[in-house]
Structure 1
Amino acid sequence: MIDQNDVEVWTTSAGGDQRVGTLRPSFTGGRTLASSSFEYDAAFLVDGWQISPDLPLRPGRTYTAENSILPGSFEDAAPDDWGQRLIRADAARRRRAEPSLPTRFGDFDYLLGVADHTRMGALRFRSSLDGPWLSSDEGVANLYDLQRIIDAAQRYEQEEATDEDIAYLGDVATSPGGARPKANVVTAEGRLAIAKLPHSKDGRFDVERWEAITLEIAREAGLRTPTWRIEAPQHGRSVLITERFDRDDEGFRLGYMSGRTALGLGTHDDGSRMTYEDFADTIDAWSIAKTEDLHEMFGRIALSVLVNNVDDHWRNHGFLHTREGWRLAPMFDVNPSRQRGVIDSRAISASDDPSDRQLVHLLAIADAFRLRPPAARAILRRVAKSVSGWDATAARFGVGSAEREALGVAFDGAQLSWALALSSGE
């Protein structure tokens, strides 16, 4: 990796490559990114689409706000903690062979260090108009490599990784977001997917199997989920394979923005003050299928409360840009948690306690989701009915009775009983 400054931004669709514009960073203290600006290409202004809420389609340079260092869509295309750690480790490995390589890393370098083939969303980068894609590493493995990926990731977590491990993970595992280990894989059907791997701190719970169980509960409740499946390699803990929803049926890229980008949150703003009622306004502003997506989101909030999904920060919601416009992305990163009353989740509304969320507050703001009370109650009952079968679903997925009993606290009895008992009247 070499230090990059201005980069050309492109997107690729069935119609071919199209130049979007130019991203210009502003550094302070070496490679520390202070701010940036973006300028659309004149041709893209004619027939293109707004790639980020903070980048209106207009000529001239648009600068980041005081609380941001990159436009939101570019932050969404950059790696999170797991990917950043691997990029640093791989750069250190390369420097041992070539000491002249840069030693400094910043947010701009991480953005460009992700393998182009697997970068989230539709944006692609070049250092010049006809230069190679940044980064040009292939960045994907086949499913038959799964055990190799798991073994390399575990050695890396335990600080026992070889240079070969780091080089391999640097190729296949930099783009997926989040802190947990993940890698890009290609399914037997040729679809790009994310392999969500076991973590050294998972303890007695098969975390990825429980995520699959929760996705199944969501699917049975009529909520949109990615195509997924469970793999169980030789070490016993499960790997969750989820197909990338930012690629269409032909494998072309779809634009992506996270919930935090759609809400207009700055780089260092965790959005803890924002509520799901605020997010409903955001869906109403951006979605081309407002009513459908608002009803969908209402059901997802209910599910999160009923399975105690506490890791529902705004990066764990998103939108996809199709040919018609923006739509709510499928549900992802949803996990039951035993922790109650000690973790602040996303509040439902200003009246809600984020450490003790109550569905009565969701029902009270049903109109924000374009729902009349009878329809809102019907969704709550439908989701609750699906959640109520969690134990049978977990058993069907091969989870033993002791583990099911230990995690049963996640499936809130009081809230579940309340939702199941809702009447259908006005």
Structure 2
Amino acid sequence: MTFEVWVDDRQTGICAVEVRPGFQAPSLTFTYLDDWLADDRAFAISPDLPLQRGPHTPPPHRTTFVAFDDAAPDRWGRNLLDAGMRRAARDRREKFRQPSEIDLLLAVSDETRQGALRFRQKGVFLDPAHERAGIRDLARLADAANRFAENGEVDEGVKELIGVGSSPGGAQPKAWVRDEEGTMHLAKFPRTSDVYDISAWELAAIRMQAKAGIAVQPSQTVPLGHDHSVFLTRRFDREGVRRLPYMSFRTAFRIAEHELVDYATLASKVAGISSSPDADAAELFSRAAFTAMVNNIDDHMRNHGLLRVGAGWRLSPSFDVNPSRLDSAATPLTPEDDPADRDIGLLVEHAHVFRLTRDQAVQRIQAVDAAVSVWRDEAVGAGVAPDALDFMTHAFEGENRARTAALAVSGPTVIDMASALPPAASGDVWVKPHVRRGRRIEGHFRRR
């Protein structure tokens, strides 16, 4: 079996599915097209696929290439696809065969697949036969997601969910839906077991990040009855009909599933791949400070990513930041940090790794603290019931608030977060404030 590999609307190479000598399971072999290799704008579509002629094969422990993981389903999508394939086999009265990694990769809807990688066979993109859903369908999709989460069965409602919900990452029930203008949004559904409105708290975190100068996507919630709502956030790997290449940190830096990598080390890695290393390293500092300040303990390497913007890689907007009232190990801030008790002061000691001076680091932490200090107001504005605020106090009033109060800058505090903001997904670039012909020009975005 062979199929074409595309990046958005352009073919990059050919994949063959074959059994290598000495191996039992089929794996992929990939070969770049000469046209792609000859193009000055070409880039390696996966860290393990360097721009070289000839066939490439995965290492012995893999059957696909690492960047394909970001285009494949995660736990929620895998469960949906697996159940759908079981039902289809039962309907055909055939014995179910456990799908391989390659089967699952090619079963995801082409329309909703994450990033810009696409797979085509005989002139048809795989898999094209799935339905679309809109915001008006949220209640029905949420109900189907709950039914599937409870019994794992595929009824008619869940069949629709497979098409729009098999590609988003993570374990929480999700789906891609379109608004009235056709723009795609990620919908995250609550579980019946949720004891609080997690969607409202995620929206509050998005708004606080924006106040702290952190790049986020426009987001909202849609009510779903008492104390439950759907979280909606605009997709950041789409620009109209154009698909933007995407890699998670796990893929870009080839981080193993349970490998623990701290933010200071990640900053060095980001600076090594980013087309704007100073801006992205500094942005990662703010995100690390924020995630510690709100006790986000789900900041694993799939919940950070990079977009191909213009001719280089940049940090994607921040996503999947959720305050938690529980104490648990998470991504440490620095190599010597305790992942179960992250110390925001250690970020300041490593400011140079994030391309910041000590004062700039303190100013950024103070900006994050100022945004988090109004968490009660932001939560209520996002839809959290006032009598539910105390339930989450521990997430926002931890030891790092006191540690921030003890920090001081050596000179006047001037917080200028905009100078280090990454460009929007559209490819705009940030122009710092400057003087031109004796006239001060304020900072602004300029079309690339």
Q: After TM superposition, is the score higher than 0.5?
A: yes
2:446 corresponds to:
none
Alignment of 1:220-259 (within 5 A): 220-234=211-225, 236-248=227-239, 250-259=240-249
Aligned residues of 1:157 and 1:200 also touching (Cα < 8 A): no
Deviations 1:319-362 (A, max 9, x none): 0112222110000001011111xx22111222111111101111
CA spacing shift, 1:79–1:67, aligned 2, 3 Å: same
CA contact (8 A) 1:118 1:140 kept: no
Letter in 1 for 2:7: T
CA RMSD for the aligned pairs? 2.0
Q: Which moved more, 1:328-337 or 1:161-170?
A: 161-170
Closer/same/farther in 2, CA of residues 143 and 55 from structure 1, 3 Å limit: same
CA distance in 2, matches of 1:189, 1:233: 23
Contact 2:87/2:154, CA 8 A, preserved across alignment: no
Per the TM alignment, residue 27 of structure 1 is displaced from its structure 2 partner at its CA by 5.4
Q: Which runs of 4+ in 1 moved over 4 A?
A: 25-28, 31-35
Deviation at 1:69, TM superposition (A): 3.5
1:40 Cα deviation from its structure 2 partner: 1.1
Pairs aligned (count): 407
The match for 1:178 is: 170
2:103, 2:24 → 1: CA distance?
Answer: 10
Q: Deviations over 1:16-42 (max 9, x none)?
A: x321112344559xx985754322111
Spell out the pairing of 1:193-232 with structure 2 (5 A cutoff): 193-202=185-194, 204-232=195-223
Does 2:7 match 1:11? yes
CA distance in 1, matches of 2:61, 2:279: 33
Distance change (3 Å), C-alpha of 1:240 and 1:425: same
Going from structure 1 to structure 2, the CA distance change for 1:150 and 1:290 (only over 3 Å counts) comes to same
Name which of structure 1's ranges 42-51 and 254-263 shifts more when overlaid on structure 2. Answer: 42-51
Q: TM-score, normalised by structure 2?
A: 0.86
Q: 8 Å contact 1:33–1:108 — kept in the other structure?
A: no
CA contact (8 A) 1:32 1:107 kept: no
SS of the counterpart of 2:67?
helix
Using a 3 Å threshold, how does the CA distance of structure 1 residues 156 and 10 change in structure 2: closer, same or farther? same
1:415 aligns with 2:400: yes
Letter in 1 for 2:319: F
Q: 1:147 aligns with which of 135, 139, 151?
A: 139
- Verify the 8 A CA contact 1:126 1:132 in the aligned structure 2: yes
2:127 matched to which residue of 1?
135
Superposed CA deviations along residues 195-243 of structure 1, whole A, max 9, x for unmatched, are 11001331x2111111111111101111001121111134651101111
* Partner residue in 2 for 1:295: 282
Identity of aligned residues (%): 36
In the TM superposition, 1:265-414 aligns within 5 A as 265-266=255-256, 269-272=257-260, 274-340=261-327, 343-414=328-399
Partner of 2:78: 84
| 3-state SS, counterpart of residue 327 of structure 1 | strand
Unmatched 5+ stretches in structure 1: none
- Distance between the aligned counterparts of 2:353 and 2:408, measured in 1? 21
Superposed CA offset, 1:358-394 (max 9, x none): 0111111111110000111100000011011101111
Residue number in structure 2 paired with 1:106: 100
Amino acid at match of 1:328: L
